[in-house]
Amino acid sequence: MATNAIDQTRRMLSLVTYLRERPGAHVQDVARAFGITEDELISDLDVLPMCGTSFRGGDLLDIDTDGDRIWWHNPDDVAEPLRLAADEATALLVAARAVATLPGLRESDRDALVRATAKLETAAGESGAASSRLSVTFEAEGGVFADVDRAISERRRLWLRYYSPARDELTEREVDPIRLFAVGHTYMEGWCRLSEARRTFRLDRVAEIRLLDAPAAPPELELRDLSAGLVQPAAEDPEVVIEVSTGGRWVAEYYPHDSAEELPDGGLRITLRTPDPASLRRLALRLGGDGRIVAPPELADSAREAAREALAAYEDAV
């Protein structure tokens, strides 16, 4: 069952209190008490030792397990009241106020956040007053994130109007969300009912979103390992060669590639692989005079034709 980040954070905060009161607790008993698998519990325990009483380090939680029992070796060391520096208190207050304005946030969570913010502001004194003069504005995807997070939490299906850059069109589809993750941008992984397959959606490309009453029921899928990046070309994917000038060197930073050879004019000759070479025509149009597709020749011809059509359309419009 997919678990979102907010649910996991709530559980881990409760886990700290639970373990403090039960030294040497059995893994099986703790997992049963929290309604999770032993593997999920072990995953939480792998994260907790990286947590502590200060954003700058401080005393960390010394929690470990031998696979059967869980031991917390320094509960008294981290039990002292938390003291925040002025910049830490300001950062927390600004972030809390911004999050409280997100659309789609559950009212119970919003109320709890507002109460916690008020207490923190009182404790912060002058720092809290100064923070009220600062504000954060979220990009449009903030509301989409809140809706997706709520759909995951409530196990509900989503309706999307989504922009597909490969086809340059907006499509409508229903999606059973699986998880949220960030790799450069923020993405939702879900089961798309339109294509009947697993798909990944970039949140800033969602033009419209709506929670449906239908329950989300994605098939049991093994989550992909994203440690090597979102796009992981296969060795059998077609090879594409692109030459860019100095103004197009950013392509090597954004596209996974096999090689990037320096050119005499300061540009690059980039070799990459993609399962859908035709999708790179939009890249060629975006580059304009800063780059061109060299191979395969049929893709290069297609990109030139697309450029001619775009230019003709522009001339007709003016």
- CA 217, CA 56: separation in Å to the nearest integer? 42
250-294 per-position pLDDT tens digit: 888 777 778 889 999 889 999 988 777 777 777 787 788 888 888
204-225 per-position pLDDT tens digit: 888 899 999 999 999 988 877 6
Single pTM value for the model:
0.41
2-53 per-position pLDDT tens digit: 455 556 677 777 788 788 888 888 999 888 888 788 888 888 888 777 766 5
